[in-house]
Amino acid sequence: FAKFDPQGKRVAYVMKNNIYVEDLATSRITQITKDGNDTIVNGTFDWVNEEEFFLRDGFRWSPDGQSIAYWQLDTEGTPLFTMINNTDTLYPTLKQFPYPKVGETNAAMRIGVIPANGGATTWMKAPGNPRQHYLVRMQWAGNSDQLLIQQLTRSQAVNVAFIADADNGSVREVIRETTESWADYVDDPKFINSGAAFTWLSERSGWRHLYRVQPDTGRVTAITRGNWDVIDVLQINEDQGWVYFIASPDTPLERYLFRASLDGSGKLERLTPNQPGTHSYQLSADAAYAVHTYSAVSQVPVVDMITLPDHRSIRVIKDNADVQANFEALDQAQFEFFQVTAQDGHALDGFLMKPADFDPAKQYPILFYVYGEPWGQTVSNSWGGERFMFHQYLTQQGYLVASIDNRGTRSPRGYEWRRSIYKQLGVVTVRDQNDALQEMLERWSFIDADRVGIWGHSGGGSQTLNALFRYPESFHVGMALAPVPDLTLYDTIYQERYSGLLPEDADSYRETSAITHAENLQGDLLLVHGTADDNVHFQGSERLVNELVKHGKQFEFFAYPNRTHGIREGEGTTYHLRTMMVDFLQQNL
């Protein structure tokens, strides 16, 4: 993580868990931290913080270039996970790294400020046990004297933002977000009005909106309002008085560019023209230009350069015309979006793909694709890439393919929608999937109720297992790739956020883990996992295998040696995986 200072005269970087500063004019290198070792980590992070909080670059130059603020982690006491490589050498080799599973010891985190030319570190005095809190975000507070630090409790139900004094480490609380589930941290708050305020995202109204916070008083003023979510803040342009962001107030299936007045007057403009689909943008520093990418279900991504705010295209960067032509030459599935209603009245979005030669008088087997957890949305008007093409192929083989976004998925439907699965992963998630299936069977007679399959990867693999084990009369075939059968085997940050803490939530973990219900398997299961999965460990599938064997359940199991969570490494792997899945479906569905 080499970074220039704001003056462009020096570069700071991390090597072997210490921070170094190099003067570009003289090539002189100064090691400014000296205590880094196997367990003390300066300026970068351990596995779990990198994976779940996206924390990789762990230091920040002050605006005047005189100081560096940095994270330090102490991983002493965090259990080591061991992975074995049986194939690359004559004898097996082992890899170990700190990995805190649910209920285990986290790394201690603290933030310090050190002179850029070396010297003593001043540690920020964030309250609480450093192993029971997360310092999730840190930045200079619009000046070189203070930091803005966000601290989550271990349960992640509370996010507190502090202003910290870089000289003496004292901290002062500015804003607190408290929930009964989990609070979101805020990426890149921007200081405006010469540091008199900063921007903040919050769901306090029931929807995710942008606010302006005064750090001296904590006063909060809304910038955006309404029964819709701000999905992603792209740029805050103080000179123009606008904030640019992605939202879709009328449908959760699409994405558009908006801008709102920073003064909180409520002035709102949609800049994307009336072109249904998903639009993403990279804005120039003055927001006068943007690289714009557009896609839809049947439209491969097209990239052009546009002017703003008129959204006029001035140059096509990549039209992907050859790819689009090849796609249109296929026997394409008939595609439609639809809605169904869960048993408690919630509307659920879905899509259905039918064979090109679909005959409504016939009955067809159906395969559901599921993710179902808070980090994904499967139903959207966007290009679906390789997975979408795989589903196209399945329709050519005579299958219907469908997907439902159950409650809790990352759909811009408001706070209650997203939090409804708290401590209910595997319960509400697949109940919604089953409710959707039942309404679809009532609506469409062409679905064969005796030939229903489901598949998913990662969290979707977990929900596939839950569907097979909890609703065996509804789902007859399942393909679970890299699942988490036992939720206690996953990492602290992700799983405790959505499932609670141990030991107080032990009963909930047991009930929501698919492995608890494995004895109910009646249908056909294909279980697939990579042995080098450092994210969702192979260990979980091995435990599930033992549980299924104990109950006399027959199933198919395939382990990919030394493949990680995506199961992509190695020549021929993706083709082998997809053809194995097709063969399994043709034999069992």
Contacts 24+ apart (CB under 8 A), 127-135: 127/171, 128/153, 131/77, 131/105, 131/106, 131/107, 132/106, 133/109, 134/49, 134/53, 134/106, 134/109, 134/493, 135/71, 135/109, 135/110, 135/111
Q: Give the tens place of pLDDT for each residue, 529-547.
A: 999 999 999 999 999 999 9
Q: Give the tens place of pLDDT for each residue, 27-47.
A: 999 999 999 999 999 999 999
What's the residue count for the chain?
A: 589
What whole-number distance in Å separates Cα of residue 227 and Cα of residue 78? 42
Banded model confidence at residue 264, pLDDT cuts 50, 70, 90: confident
Residues 6 or more apart in contact with residue 337 via CB below 8 angstroms: 253, 349, 350, 351, 379, 381
Please, are residues 308 and 289 in contact by the beta-carbon 8 Å criterion? yes
What whole-number distance in Å separates Cα of residue 379 and Cα of residue 360? 23
Residue with tokens 């596939």: 464
Residue 195 in this model has a pLDDT that exceeds 90: no
| Average pLDDT of the residues in 183-203 | 94
| Catalytic member of 67, 491, 533, 541 | 533
Question: Could you give the C-alpha distances from 584 to 409, 477, 578, 580, in angstroms and in order?
Answer: 28, 9, 10, 6
Nearest alpha-carbon partner for 399 in 349, 466, 455, 337? 455
Q: Name residue 313's amino acid.
A: S
Secondary structure letter of residue 436 according to DSSP: H
Secondary structure letter of residue 488 according to DSSP: G
Q: What is the pLDDT, as a whole number, of residue 265? A: 87
Q: What is the pLDDT, as a whole number, of residue 344? A: 86
- Determine what percent of the chain is predicted with pLDDT higher than 70: 100
For CA atoms 111, 116, 121, 124, the dihedral sign is: negative
310 in active site: no
Q: Give the tens place of pLDDT for each residue, 545-575.
A: 999 999 999 999 999 999 999 999 999 999 9
| Average pLDDT of the residues in 65-72 | 98
| Average pLDDT of the residues in 157-177 | 97
Banded model confidence at residue 193, pLDDT cuts 50, 70, 90: confident
Neighbour tally for 339: CB within 10 Å: 12
What whole-number distance in Å separates Cα of residue 462 and Cα of residue 527? 11
Enter the pTM of the model. 0.95
Q: Give the tens place of pLDDT for each residue, 13-26.
A: 999 999 999 999 99
Region class of 201: left (phi > 0), else alpha (psi between -120 and 50), else beta? beta
Q: Give the tens place of pLDDT for each residue, 404-420.
A: 999 999 999 999 999 99
Specify the pairing of strand 59-61 against strand 67-74. Answer: antiparallel
| Average pLDDT of the residues in 494-515 | 97
* DSSP, residue by residue, 500-559: --TTTTHHHHHHHSGGGGGGG--SEEEEEEETT-SSS-HHHHHHHHHHHHHTT---EEEE
| Catalytic member of 248, 380, 420, 458 | 458
| Catalytic member of 292, 476, 529, 565 | 565
Q: Give the tens place of pLDDT for each residue, 254-263.
A: 999 999 999 8
Which pair of tokens denotes residue 67?
Answer: 């100081």
Domains of the chain: 1-185 (2.140.10.30), 189-324 (2.120.10.30), 330-588 (3.40.50.1820)
What whole-number distance in Å separates Cα of residue 144 and Cα of residue 15? 25
432 in active site: no
Q: Give the tens place of pLDDT for each residue, 92-110.
A: 999 999 999 999 999 999 9
Neighbour tally for 204: CB within 10 Å: 16
Banded model confidence at residue 1, pLDDT cuts 50, 70, 90: confident
Q: To the nearest 10°, the Cα dihedral for 354, 360, 362, 363?
A: 50
Q: Give the tens place of pLDDT for each residue, 291-328.
A: 999 999 999 999 999 999 999 999 999 999 999 999 99
250 in active site: no
- Determine what percent of the chain is predicted with pLDDT higher than 90: 97
In the predicted model, what is the mean pLDDT of the chain?
96
Please, are residues 577 and 583 in contact by the beta-carbon 8 Å criterion? no
